[in-house]
Amino acid sequence: MTRTARELAQFLGATVEGDSDALVERVASPESARPADLIYVDSPKHLDRASRSAARCAVVALEADLPGKTLLRAANPKLAFAKAAAWLLPPARIAQGVHPTAVVAASARLARDAAVGPYAVIEEAVEIGGGTEIGAFCFLGAGSRVGEECRLYPRVALYAGSQIGNRVVIHSGTVVGSDGFGYVYGEGRYWKFPQAGTVVIEDDVEIGSNTSIDRGALDATHIGTGTKIDNLVQVAHNVRIGVHTVVAAQTGISGSSTVGNHVVVGGQVGIADHCRIEDGAILGAQAGIPTGKIIRGGQTVWGTPARPLDRFKEQYVWHARLPELAERVRKLEEKAGED
């Protein structure tokens, strides 16, 4: 979609400087941009890269100095750039219409403009909302419900009964609603604890590829509005994640733990079972939260077992100097022995 700088500025609520008729077609990094690509600069140290770019038009901060380009000035240039990109580049369609090879149960209810790709399987009593696109090889188990304007990339599996809100995006390979890892040990073996709950995913959630989200054992696993989950993440049974939280790749959240709103979880973090991560907490990459632990609202923690970042750093400084500290103790002993 081609837009003028003026149209973009209006859309973004930005001010325009320079040629407001300049045409913008796509977005790019400064190095790979062609003239009709929009670029952005959110730090003075990148102004040089931008000024060497072939792009005619750039989103910059209110005070930035970048001669020779048409400028869209915004308080948060990266945010304005992201919004511009979404407007210029609507995502490619995942499916168009209902492909004749899709296996759709008679009792499934698809909105008129829902689309289903080749070889998708839609079981009994599934509901799919308007504008939603279901990719090739997707499996929607009986009674699952997907809201409006959702995008399920090829090869997503929803086990029976999964409930997905509106504008939810799920990437390839992700499994929603598989049985939780719950067993009772007795008589020399493990017996399966019932995994009879479901999964509820609210609006505007995005989930990466090859992630696993287990159904609740007796109630629901719940993911709140606007939360973003990366690739290869494990969300166990009965987990509750709040709204507008981000969970980076390869993190695991164990059974019955809760993660609050606006939490930031780094990559490869392990949250054991029955933990409570309160609103606004930040868990550094690879942190390990032991069973039942509470991380207070707004706290930043790191390490295994996780502790406040300042404490981690202070301890680590001395850890790194342990050989030296041990030598100082040896010298003191030597001196004390001489006395």
The catalytic residues are 237
User: Identity (one letter) of the amino acid at 102?
Assistant: A
Q: Does residue number 26 form part of the binding site for a copy of itself (CB under 8 A)? A: yes
Residue 165 vs 208, nearer CB to a copy of itself? 208
Residue 148 vs 179, nearer CB to a copy of itself? 179
Q: Please state whether beta strands 206-207 and 169-170 pair in parallel, antiparallel, or not at all (unpaired).
A: parallel
Asked if 70 contacts 19 with a C-beta cutoff of 8 angstroms, the reply is yes
Residue 188 CB partners (closer than 8 Å, separation 6+)? none
How is the chain split among helix, strand and coil, in percent rounded to 5? 15, 30, 55
Q: Name which of 266, 268, 277, 203 is nearest 239 in CA terms.
A: 277
Count CB neighbours of 287 within 10 A: 25
Report the site for a copy of itself in 109-138 (rule: CB under 8 A). 117-119, 121, 135-137
Report the site for a copy of itself in 188-207 (rule: CB under 8 A). 188-194, 196, 204, 206
CA-based radius of gyration for the chain? 26
Binding window for a copy of itself (CB under 8 A); candidates: 4-12, 44-52, 54-62, 285-293? 285-293
Candidate residues 212, 274, 300, 309; the one interacting with a copy of itself per rule CB under 8 A? 212
First to last CA, the chain: 86
Report the site for a copy of itself in 152-181 (rule: CB under 8 A). 153-155, 157, 159-160, 169, 171-173, 175, 178-179, 181
Candidate residues 36, 98, 249, 309; the one interacting with a copy of itself per rule CB under 8 A? 249
Q: Helices 77-88 & 5-12, crossing angle to 10 degrees?
A: 120
Candidate residues 183, 292, 296, 298; the one interacting with a copy of itself per rule CB under 8 A? 183
Report the site for a copy of itself in 35-74 (rule: CB under 8 A). none
Q: Does residue number 85 form part of the binding site for a copy of itself (CB under 8 A)? A: yes
Residue 19 vs 25, nearer CB to a copy of itself? 25
Q: Does residue number 281 form part of the binding site for a copy of itself (CB under 8 A)? A: no
Candidate residues 125, 246, 294, 309; the one interacting with a copy of itself per rule CB under 8 A? 246
Binding window for a copy of itself (CB under 8 A); candidates: 11-19, 48-56, 77-85, 274-282? 77-85
Q: Does residue number 260 form part of the binding site for a copy of itself (CB under 8 A)? A: no
3-state secondary structure of 21: coil
Partner residues linked to 247 by β-bridges: 229, 265
Binding window for a copy of itself (CB under 8 A); candidates: 2-10, 52-60, 125-133, 328-336? 328-336
Asked if 300 contacts 307 with a C-beta cutoff of 8 angstroms, the reply is no
3-state secondary structure of 314: helix
